[in-house]
Amino acid sequence: MHHTTQYTRTITATSNESTTHGTIEVLEFSEQGRVKRAWVMALKCLGATALCVLIPVAHFLLVPLGLLVVTPIMTIYTFRVRTKIISACVDCPACHKPLNVLTSQERYPIYENCGSCHRQIALSKTA
């Protein structure tokens, strides 16, 4: 049973009037995959909360915050993530250096700043 599917999507990078084309590798989580990721996140948050018990005085605040706020929010957030960008291969349309894509959520348009020329580049799905 596959929890995640990896696929390649073609994208267009735009800066002013110039465009380049490239690809991104995306992981898509199935329902079971998302449930599993959410559980792992919940356990990590609970683990971090458990460590706060060791902090004198501050634990009165940190432990309830961890249990009631951070853990549910992070767990729900993780469950809602359906896709994740794992790598990108596209050149900056302005200076033609490889563009570093730091965004992990696949929600278009994606804005990235070029590390070489510092222009803002918009990435969109190639139709």
* Token output for 85: 């960008």
* Residue whose CB is less far from Zn ion, 45 or 90: 90
What is the identity of the amino acid at 8? Answer: T
Residue 92 engages Zn ion in binding (rule: CB under 5 A): yes
Residue 46 engages Zn ion in binding (rule: CB under 5 A): no
Residue 123 engages Zn ion in binding (rule: CB under 5 A): no
Residue 117 engages Zn ion in binding (rule: CB under 5 A): yes
Place of tokens 């696929």: 7
- Which residue in 6, 1, 22 sits closest to 83, CA to CA? 6
CB of 114 to Zn ion, least distance (A): 3
Angle at 67 between CA 42 and CA 54, to 5 degrees: 100
- Candidates 95, 103, 113, 122; binder of Zn ion (CB under 5 A) is 95
* Residue whose CB is less far from Zn ion, 83 or 116: 116
Task: Please say whether the beta carbons of 19 and 92 come within 8 A.
Answer: no
* Token output for 58: 């501050």
CB of 16 to Zn ion, least distance (A): 11
Q: Write out the residues near Zn ion by the rule CB under 5 A.
A: 92, 94-95, 114, 116-117
